[in-house]
């Protein structure tokens, strides 16, 4: 059954409190689009396009070109090409999850807190711990792995009982360094090591060789890559950024049919996108692992849980 909606969109820019260093250079401003759909009864629906082109999504310019091509009215459902996964997310989430009123994000969601790289981590966990965070992610692969392992030992000693720690290398380790890291980790010391190497073949070899749980992230940036990773035999943890993964309905079907072990991760979207992801994840009953979506402090907003 098709329906007609008035359609509009607008561009936003959210500067980071401090520029983020990525493997692709310095990132100073988060840019995206907010789409609005209005039905015949005047009800509003909102969606967010928050692309990360170097992570496998379309560019902002491509998203703008597509939205411009639609004009000021659309026939639902809107067909969005697979080459525009962030745009697919926005349209697939707006009607089922982006309806008004835009309620506050639930305080009952379990969040993971991103800690800074290097020795700053040894003090940076304390304030979020007091705020109630119990799961932390620490970026590695920034310095020599031997030096990071020394810091890791100190961090592990400092963290209170009950804290969970994740390590994320962003595919920045060589296979040898990844083996060094995994060989040095005490049994049960971390929840998982995220994407230590870039190659799926090497990830599969590491998973066979070591007992520490491993997660893929960059390798599953959209639904097509997720399917490929699964077909090639990956049965570890999947860190998924729904806002750039494509159609939420298709993503949910794939996850449920194969009973994947999933961690939700932020694309540094606003709470328009966050709210849609959380409404969708509650429907999918994907609350097993803490979501890596507590990013509001990166924009100089109130420290704590994400909010609009």
Instruction: Based on the residue annotation, tell me whether 137 is a catalytic residue of this protein.
Output: no
Q: What is the DSSP string of 232-256?
A: TT--SEEEE-GGGTS-HHHHHHHHH
Burial of 91 by CB count in 10 Å (0-12 exposed, 13-18 middle, 19+ buried)?
A: buried
Q: Of these residues, 120, 137, 139, 305, which one is catalytic?
A: 139
Maximum separation of any 2 CA atoms in the chain, in Å: 62
Rounded Cα distance, 246 and 87, in Å: 7
Catalytic residue among 43, 120, 241, 305: 241
Which residues are known catalytic residues?
139, 241
């Amino acid at each position: 059954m098709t329906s007609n909606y008035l359609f509009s969109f607008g561009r936003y820019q959210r500067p980071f409190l401090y520029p983020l260093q990525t493997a692709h250079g310095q990132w100073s401003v988060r840019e995206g689009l907010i789409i609005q759909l209005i039905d015949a009864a005047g009800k509003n629906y909102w969606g967010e396009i928050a692309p990360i082109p170097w992570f496998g999504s379309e560019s902002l310019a491509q998203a703008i070109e597509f939205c411009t091509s639609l004009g000021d009215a659309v026939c639902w459902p809107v067909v969005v090409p697979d080459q525009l996964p962030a745009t697919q997310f926005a349209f697939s989430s707006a009607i089922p999850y982006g309806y008004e009123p835009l309620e506050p994000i639930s305080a009952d969601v379990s969040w993971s807190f991103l800690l800074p790289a290097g020795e700053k981590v040894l003090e940076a966990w304390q304030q979020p711990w007091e705020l109630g965070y119990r799961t932390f992610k620490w970026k590695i692969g920034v310095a020599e792995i031997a030096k990071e392992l020394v810091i890791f030992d100190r961090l592990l000693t400092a963290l209170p009982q009950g804290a969970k720690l994740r390590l994320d290398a962003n595919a920045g380790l060589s296979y040898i360094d990844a083996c060094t890291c995994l060989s040095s980790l005490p049994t049960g010391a971390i929840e998982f090591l995220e994407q230590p190497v870039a190659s799926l073949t090497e990830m599969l070899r590491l998973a066979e060789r070591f007992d520490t749980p491993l997660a893929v992230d960059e390798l599953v940036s959209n639904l097509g890559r997720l399917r490929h990773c699964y077909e090639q035999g990956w049965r570890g943890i999947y860190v998924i950024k729904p806002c750039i993964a494509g159609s939420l309905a298709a993503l949910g079907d794939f996850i449920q049919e194969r009973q994947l072990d999933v961690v939700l991760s932020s694309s540094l979207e606003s709470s328009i996108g966050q709210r849609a992801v959380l409404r969708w994840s509650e429907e999918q009953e994907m609350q097993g692992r803490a979501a890596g979506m507590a990013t509001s402090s990166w924009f100089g907003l109130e420290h704590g849980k994400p909010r609009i």
